[in-house]
Structure 1
Amino acid sequence: MRLKLKQHLALSSFALLAGITGCSQTPTPSVDNSHNTVYLNGQIYTQDGLRRKVEAIAVANDTFVYTGNREGAESFIKQGFRVVDLGGKMVLPGLHDNHIHVLGTVALDVCDLEGKSVNLDQLASKVQECLPRYASEPGSWLKIEQWVPYENNEPTDRYKTIRQALDAVADGHPIILSGVDGHASAYNSKALSMAQDDNGKTVGFTAKSLGKGGVFAELAPYVSLDSGVVRDAAKEKIPVGNFDMFAQEVGDPRGEAIYGAILPKVAQVMAQSGITSIQDACTNDFIREQLVKMQQRNLLNMHVTAATCFISDDYKGKVDIAGHLKKAQEVRAAFANNPLIKADAVKIFADGVLEGDPFSKPPFSPNAGMLHNYQTPHLKQNEDTGAVTVIKDSDDSKKNGIVNYKVQDFKNYASALDANGFSIHIHSVGDRATRVAIDGLEAARQRNGNSHIPHTIAHLQVVHPDDQRRLGELGVYLTYTYAWINLQPQYDVLITPFLEKSKKGQAIDDVLYNQNSYTWSAIYPVESTYKAGAVLVAGSDAPVDSRDPRPFMNIAAGITRAIPGKPAYNPQQSATLEQMLDAYTINGARAVRQEKLIGSIEPGKSADFIVLDRNLFNLVEQGKPEQIAETKVLQTVFRGKTVYSQPATLAGD
Structure 2
Amino acid sequence: MTTRVFHGGSVFTGSGSPLLGQAVIVRDERIDRIVPESELAAFLGAEPGGSVELIDLRGALLSPGFQDAHIHAVGGGVELLQCDLSGTGTAEEAVDAVRAYAEANPDEEWILGGGWSMDCFPGGNPTRDLLDAAAPGRPVLLASRDHHSIWASTGAIERAGVTSETADPADGVIIREADGHPAGTFHEGAGELFNTARPVTGEDLRYRGLLRAQEELIALGITGWQDAMVGSSAVGVPDPLTAYEQALAEGTLAVHVTGAQWWERDGGIEQVERMVAQRHRIAALGSPERLELGTTKIMVDGVAENHTAAMLTPYRDAHGHDTHNHGLSFIDPERLREYVTALDAAGQQVHMHALGDRAVREALDALQDARDANGPTDGRHHLAHLQIVAEEDVPRFAELGAIANLQALWATHEDQLDELTLPFLQEGQEARQYPFGDFVRADVRLAAGSDWPVSSASPVDALHIAVNRTTPGSDREPLAGAHQRLDLATAMAAYTSGSAYVNHRDHDTGTIAPGFRADLVVLDPSPFDLPVEEIFRSRVVQTWIDGRRVYAAESALATAEAAPTTESTARTELEGELS
**Larger deviation, residues 296-305 vs 440-449:** 296-305
2:269 match: 321
Q: What is the CA–CA distance in structure 1 between the aligned matches of 2:116 and 2:126, rounded to whole Å? A: 15
| Of 312, 318, 321, the match for 1:395 | 321
TM-score after normalising by structure 2? 0.86
Q: What is the CA–CA distance in structure 1 between the aligned matches of 2:332 and 2:518, rounded to whole Å? A: 45
1:251 match: none
1:309 match: 262
- Give the drift of 1:108: 4.1
1:299 match: 252
| Of 560, 578, 592, the match for 2:468 | 560
Q: In structure 1, the residue corresponding to 2:24 is in which secondary structure?
A: strand
Q: Is the contact made by 2:114 and 2:142 (CA closer than 8 Å) also made in structure 1? A: yes
CA spacing shift, 1:404–1:644, aligned 2, 3 Å: same
Q: What is the CA–CA distance in structure 2 between the aligned matches of 1:110 and 1:86, rounded to whole Å? A: 38
Q: In structure 1, the residue corresponding to 2:5 is in which secondary structure?
A: strand
Q: In structure 2, the residue corresponding to 1:376 is in which secondary structure?
A: coil
**Residue 229 of structure 2 is aligned to residue 282 of structure 1:** yes
- Give the drift of 1:541: 0.6
- 1:51-70 matches, within 5 Å, as 52-53=19-20, 55-70=22-37
1:367 match: 308
Q: Is the contact made by 2:272 and 2:342 (CA closer than 8 Å) also made in structure 1? A: no
Counterpart AA for 1:566: D
Counterpart AA for 2:527: L
Q: What is the CA–CA distance in structure 2 between the aligned matches of 1:50 and 1:191, rounded to whole Å? A: 54
| Of 354, 373, 379, the match for 2:304 | 354
CA spacing shift, 1:127–1:326, aligned 2, 3 Å: closer
- Give the drift of 1:52: 4.9
Q: Is the contact made by 1:331 and 1:343 (CA closer than 8 Å) also made in structure 2? A: yes
Q: Which has the larger radius of gyration?
A: 1
**Residue 528 of structure 2 is aligned to residue 627 of structure 1:** no
Q: What is the CA–CA distance in structure 2 between the aligned matches of 1:147 and 1:583, rounded to whole Å? A: 29
Q: What is the CA–CA distance in structure 2 between the aligned matches of 1:553 and 1:49, rounded to whole Å? A: 20
Counterpart AA for 2:443: G
Q: What is the CA–CA distance in structure 2 between the aligned matches of 1:645 and 1:171, rounded to whole Å? A: 44
**Residue 350 of structure 2 is aligned to residue 405 of structure 1:** no
CA spacing shift, 1:125–1:105, aligned 2, 3 Å: closer
**Larger deviation, residues 122-131 vs 78-87:** 122-131
Query: 1:284-303: per-residue Cα shift (whole Å, max 9, x none)?
Result: 27512212333344432222
**Residue 210 of structure 2 is aligned to residue 238 of structure 1:** no
2:145 match: 180
| Of 83, 87, 90, the match for 2:58 | 87
Q: What is the CA–CA distance in structure 1 between the aligned matches of 2:281 and 2:107, rounded to whole Å? A: 44
Query: 1:476-521: per-residue Cα shift (whole Å, max 9, x none)?
Result: 2111111111112454210122213xxxxxxxxxxxxxxxx32122
1:153 match: 121
**Larger deviation, residues 451-460 vs 262-271:** 262-271
**Residue 512 of structure 2 is aligned to residue 605 of structure 1:** no
**Residue 9 of structure 2 is aligned to residue 101 of structure 1:** no
Equivalent residues, number: 538
CA spacing shift, 1:451–1:374, aligned 2, 3 Å: same
Counterpart AA for 1:562: T
Counterpart AA for 1:228: G
CA spacing shift, 1:236–1:617, aligned 2, 3 Å: same
Q: Is the contact made by 1:176 and 1:187 (CA closer than 8 Å) also made in structure 2? A: yes
Counterpart AA for 1:141: W
1:113 match: 85
Q: Is the contact made by 1:141 and 1:241 (CA closer than 8 Å) also made in structure 2? A: no
Counterpart AA for 2:84: D
Gaps of 5+ in 1: 1-32, 196-201, 211-215, 249-254, 357-365, 378-392, 501-516
- Give the drift of 1:278: 0.8
Q: What is the CA–CA distance in structure 2 between the aligned matches of 1:613 and 1:180, rounded to whole Å? A: 30
**Residue 552 of structure 2 is aligned to residue 641 of structure 1:** no
Q: In structure 2, the residue corresponding to 1:585 is in which secondary structure?
A: helix
Q: In structure 2, the residue corresponding to 1:371 is in which secondary structure?
A: coil
Query: 1:576-606: per-residue Cα shift (whole Å, max 9, x none)?
Result: 1111011011111111222111111111111
**Larger deviation, residues 269-278 vs 173-182:** 173-182
**Residue 29 of structure 2 is aligned to residue 39 of structure 1:** no
Gaps of 5+ in 2: 178-182, 233-238, 562-579
Q: What is the CA–CA distance in structure 2 between the aligned matches of 1:448 and 1:123, rounded to whole Å? A: 50
1:265 match: 212
- Give the drift of 1:51: 6.8
Query: 1:332-387: per-residue Cα shift (whole Å, max 9, x none)?
Result: 4422521311111111111111113xxxxxxxxx111111111111xxxxxxxxxx
| Of 527, 532, 535, the match for 2:437 | 527
CA spacing shift, 1:241–1:145, aligned 2, 3 Å: farther
**Larger deviation, residues 462-471 vs 416-425:** 462-471
Query: 1:181-240: per-residue Cα shift (whole Å, max 9, x none)?
Result: 111112234433454xxxxxx4x241x433xxxxx4646x51111442112211111246
The share of aligned pairs that are identical, in percent, is 27
Counterpart AA for 1:273: L
1:382 match: none
**Residue 526 of structure 2 is aligned to residue 615 of structure 1:** yes
Q: In structure 2, the residue corresponding to 1:375 is in which secondary structure?
A: coil
CA spacing shift, 1:124–1:82, aligned 2, 3 Å: closer
- Give the drift of 1:81: 4.2
Q: What is the CA–CA distance in structure 1 between the aligned matches of 2:3 and 2:223, rounded to whole Å? A: 20
- Give the drift of 1:462: 1.1
Query: 1:7-55: per-residue Cα shift (whole Å, max 9, x none)?
Result: xxxxxxxxxxxxxxxxxxxxxxxxxx4x222223231122368975551
Q: In structure 2, the residue corresponding to 1:395 is in which secondary structure?
A: coil
Query: 1:158-177: per-residue Cα shift (whole Å, max 9, x none)?
Result: xx962332344553333222
Q: What is the CA–CA distance in structure 2 between the aligned matches of 1:333 and 1:191, rounded to whole Å? A: 37
TM-score after normalising by structure 1? 0.77
CA spacing shift, 1:345–1:108, aligned 2, 3 Å: same
2:396 match: 470
- Give the drift of 1:402: 0.8
Q: What is the CA–CA distance in structure 1 between the aligned matches of 2:465 and 2:254, rounded to whole Å? A: 27
Q: Is the contact made by 1:598 and 1:608 (CA closer than 8 Å) also made in structure 2? A: yes
**Larger deviation, residues 626-635 vs 570-579:** 626-635
2:576 match: none
1:228 match: 184
2:501 match: 590
1:383 match: none
Q: What is the CA–CA distance in structure 1 between the aligned matches of 2:471 and 2:401, rounded to whole Å? A: 30
Counterpart AA for 2:212: K
Q: What is the CA–CA distance in structure 2 between the aligned matches of 1:47 and 1:348, rounded to whole Å? A: 29
Q: What is the CA–CA distance in structure 2 between the aligned matches of 1:109 and 1:588, rounded to whole Å? A: 28
- 1:361-510 matches, within 5 Å, as 366-377=307-318, 393-489=319-415, 491-500=417-426
Counterpart AA for 1:238: F
CA spacing shift, 1:169–1:103, aligned 2, 3 Å: closer
CA spacing shift, 1:110–1:240, aligned 2, 3 Å: farther
Counterpart AA for 1:96: Q
